[in-house]
Structure 1
Amino acid sequence: MLEDFERGRVTAFFRRVADSTPVTDRPASLVITHLLAERPRFLEGVGRLSDLAAVLPKPRSIDETALRQISTSMQVDELNRDRLADPEQALAYVESRAGGRDLVLLDVGGYFAPALEHLHHHFSGRLLGVVEDTENGHQRYAALDKVPVPVFSVARSPLKDPEDYLVGQSVVFSTEALVRRRDDILNGRPACVIGYGKLGRSIAEMLHAKHVGVTVFDTCSVRRVQALSQGYRTAGTLAEALTDAGIVVCATGNLALKEDDFTRVPNGAYIASVTSSDDELELAALAGLYTRTPVEEHVTRYARTGHYFYLLANGNAVNFLHGASVGTFILLVQAEILAALGLLASGEHDPGMWEVPADVRQSIAATWLTYFHGVS
């Protein structure tokens, strides 16, 4: 929990970032977010640049204190991926919250991507654009046949690198904490890391630092070469990578394990994910095939004749069980989201994928150093 002076410093930082992009005509905004403990300060920053039509917290990452805090001053709605993926339902919802307004969508995971074309053509207001936070969401927008509005992505920003590195550390911390609930340890259990993006690299590095042998699998040959250069064992197929694995960490955001893959998970292995279960694991396909038995808090045993494994945190991001804290580094990414919101609100941008300009990122980094590390 932040002390009062810490909250004040974060508020002042976001105010400084927001005020650097003056907005003449404030748009409305719909905000999908992980509602963690520090997030109300960020939402206040969003409110400096836009009229917050609604906040949609991701259901598996809600801090109850933060929820109570924002509920007194902000509209909070349930986030439902199926509803937003259906063009007509998505349109009805957006109309109910921001009909006739200029509107910016702040997204975490590409929730608005399936209905974006429909929203662009039929929304009674004007859809100024989208700001996307995650690599998974970036890929969903980029994969559209035609991106109908400007989409600012911070997923590949250098300001996100510190967050990704620290999230990888927190994933390993939480994985180990859950394994220890069964009086077990990571040591002696070979690990398989699926996905060697920025998160996967951090996870592999942290496991290696704990003297855990790591095998990396990625569908991208270039990334497998990169993993080899860092001293990790790699595999050409997922089945090979899973062989003898005692820990399986899924870091793709794109169904790392599908139905048939689970049969290749070695007996007694632990499976952890860095994101929502519906993005990373095809668990629904296991219904009726495996018996689910909770054995410890957040540890579930999946078993059928001759085969069993343990799923951590019901397949959701394990690090959210312990706050998913990455310190003030998270504020860098949030500040870039505010900058992107300001850019969409203050100027015309052609449809397509956009990034915040390098000079704006430099300014954000310099401001962050001034507020949180005493560097001017």
Structure 2
Amino acid sequence: MDIGGYFPPCLQDLAHHHIYGNTWKLLGIVEDTGNGHQKYNRAFQYFPVRQDLKKPCIYSVARSQLKMTEDYNVGKSLVRAADTILRQSLDLRLEDHRVVGVIEFGKIGNKALTFDDLQNIGVNIDRLIIASYTSADDELNIYEGLKQYKYVSDSTYPVNFSWYTIKRRAGSDFQLILLCDRNATNFNCRAILGESIRSVQAAMMICALNLYRSNRKNKSNSDILTLTNEEEIMIARLWLQHFGRMK
């Protein structure tokens, strides 16, 4: 089971299990996230073609309908997490800001503003607050030159943000605030996803069972696999039967 795509760099070694003395056998990998799905897809593109090396069987639930429901709930929880930090640390409310931008509108944002972008921000914007939501290994990279503009507080009270005052080319100042000091907000402020996550966990278990069955039949696949429509419908029905009664 993988959540975030941490095994692609060593995928070839995992497939070449006989170098470890045949003490274990890799049945396959089940990936949960869209970020991890992309990593495995790239790893498959560069996987060497050799007779003594077979691609590991990989299942992913990242493109399933069940995962889409979880993603929707994750989106709501992340907004609540950002609002919580703004209220507790800066005495601000997200609803008071008229403009909210989403960079790279996908499962996981992967674009960060460059320092030049910051210097050219319009004169009608005097404060920019950035919250990053992503995997722990894909957080924002901060330009080294930005550190000289960081406000250093004398307070010993812990804060969940870093504050920069940057001079525009036109001469005026504007403030940049990075929530959680550029780290992923979703790991700093835990947000409750509810029971929708149970359906995705069930999907991963079904994928693991499929891996076991395919290995017993000695089947191999060159693409990333996912659940069938019938399997998703079965999981959804079981979820409704159990958790629907709890509401």
TM over 0.5: yes
Pair 1:312-2:179 in alignment: yes
What is the CA distance between 1:110 and its match in structure 2?
1.3
Determine which structure has the larger strand proportion and give its number: 1
Worse-superposed segment, 345-354 or 298-307 = 298-307
What residue is the counterpart of 1:330 in the other structure? Answer: 197
What residue is the counterpart of 1:302 in the other structure? Answer: 164
Q: Distance in 2 between matches of 1:272 and 1:259?
A: 16
Q: Distance in 2 between matches of 1:153 and 1:280?
A: 23
What residue is the counterpart of 2:150 in the other structure? Answer: 291
SS at match of 1:374: helix
Q: Conserved in 2, the CA contact under 8 Å of 1:257 and 1:280? A: no
What residue is the counterpart of 1:194 in the other structure? Answer: 103
Q: Cα gap change, 1:171/1:293 in structure 2, threshold over 3 Å: closer, same or farther?
A: farther
Q: Distance in 2 between matches of 1:316 and 1:109?
A: 16
118, 133, 145: which one pairs with 1:274? 133
Could you list the per-position Cα deviations for residues 150-185 of structure 1 after superposition, in whole angstroms to 9, with x for gaps in the alignment?
A: 211111110012211111111111112222231222
Q: Give the alignment's TM-score, normalised by structure 1.
A: 0.52
Pair 1:179-2:41 in alignment: no
Q: Cα gap change, 1:345/1:290 in structure 2, threshold over 3 Å: closer, same or farther?
A: farther
What is the CA distance between 1:373 and its match in structure 2?
0.9
SS at match of 1:337: helix
Alignment identity in percent? 35
Q: Cα gap change, 1:153/1:307 in structure 2, threshold over 3 Å: closer, same or farther?
A: same
Worse-superposed segment, 341-350 or 355-364 = 341-350
Q: Conserved in 1, the CA contact under 8 Å of 2:30 and 2:207? A: yes
Q: Distance in 2 between matches of 1:330 and 1:352?
A: 26
Q: Cα gap change, 1:135/1:302 in structure 2, threshold over 3 Å: closer, same or farther?
A: same
SS at match of 1:269: strand
Q: Conserved in 2, the CA contact under 8 Å of 1:277 and 1:315? A: no
Pair 1:370-2:229 in alignment: no
Q: Cα gap change, 1:143/1:159 in structure 2, threshold over 3 Å: closer, same or farther?
A: same
Q: Conserved in 2, the CA contact under 8 Å of 1:257 and 1:281? A: no
Q: Distance in 2 between matches of 1:118 and 1:264?
A: 47
**RMSD between aligned alpha carbons?**
2.7
Could you list the per-position Cα deviations for residues 133-152 of structure 1 after superposition, in whole angstroms to 9, with x for gaps in the alignment?
A: 11111111111224521211
Q: Cα gap change, 1:264/1:150 in structure 2, threshold over 3 Å: closer, same or farther?
A: farther
SS at match of 1:126: coil
What residue is the counterpart of 2:11 in the other structure? Answer: 116
Bigger Rg, which one: 2
Could you list the per-position Cα deviations for residues 273-315 of structure 1 after superposition, in whole angstroms to 9, with x for gaps in the alignment?
A: 1114641411264574442546863122134554531111233
What residue is the counterpart of 2:25 in the other structure? Answer: 126
What is the CA distance between 1:332 and its match in structure 2?
0.6
**Which of 1 and 2 has higher RCO (CA within 8 Å, sep 6+)?**
2
**Count of residues in Structure 1 that have an aligned counterpart in Structure 2:** 217
- Residue segments in structure 2 that go unaligned for 5+ positions in a row: 48-54, 168-172
Q: Cα gap change, 1:111/1:258 in structure 2, threshold over 3 Å: closer, same or farther?
A: farther
